[in-house]
Chains A and B, each alone.
Chain A
Amino acid sequence: MSPAEQAHMSKTASPPRQIIEKKQMQDFMKLYSGLVERCFMSCAQDFTSKALTGKEGTCVQNCTDKFLKHSERVGARFAEHNAEQMQGR
């Protein structure tokens, strides 16, 4: 669960744990499949061989790392924004 969501959770009435865990699982699978699609589209270019080339392999690694860092940073800004909103009310 993103930090933003966690920050928000404590304020609201929380649903039971099974529901949250199910949602977390769904989020994770969505993240995973989304990341595969994103990095495949950006990195897989050469279809003259069935294995990923070295270049494509590093591209996929970089793509994954970068996306997770991106998502982390967005999450931090999101949490800050949420916190501000909470104070404003």
Chain B
Amino acid sequence: MSFFGLGGGQNAQPTGAINPAQIEMAVAELDMITDVFNRLVNSCHAKCIDAKYHEPDLNKGEGVCIDRCTAKFFEVNKKVGERMQAMGGGSGGATFQ
């Protein structure tokens, strides 16, 4: 990973002379991706994992369920994004990808 501040060399302060708007964009993007990931984990855990916890490993059914669940989640994500864009609001339709 290359950070802005650390590659230059001339600038002693890591945070100096960096475009703050760009950082804000990157942070917002990171937040959004983290949020999508967390929602994905929670949704598929609720749908696929048996809450009795008899064994510590994912069984075969749960594994397959997780794979399908994630794929489906992305599809739903896309579909909802498309619908929202079609509705035309523009502001709300932040599809992640």
Contact = CB atoms under 8 A, between A and B. Distances in A.
A36 to B, nearest CB: 15
Interface in A43-89: 43, 58-59, 61-63, 65-67, 69-71, 73-75, 77-78, 81, 85
Contact of A77 (B3, B6, B48, B71): B71
Main secondary structure of the interface of A (DSSP, over half): helix
B66 A77 contact: yes
Interface residues of A, number: 39
B30 A5 contact: yes
Contacts of B31: 23
Interface of A: 2, 4-5, 8-10, 12-20, 23, 27, 30, 38, 42-43, 58-59, 61-63, 65-67, 69-71, 73-75, 77-78, 81, 85
Interface of B: 1-6, 14-15, 18, 22-23, 25-27, 29-31, 33-34, 37-38, 40-41, 44-45, 48-49, 51, 53-58, 62-63, 66-67, 70-71, 74, 97
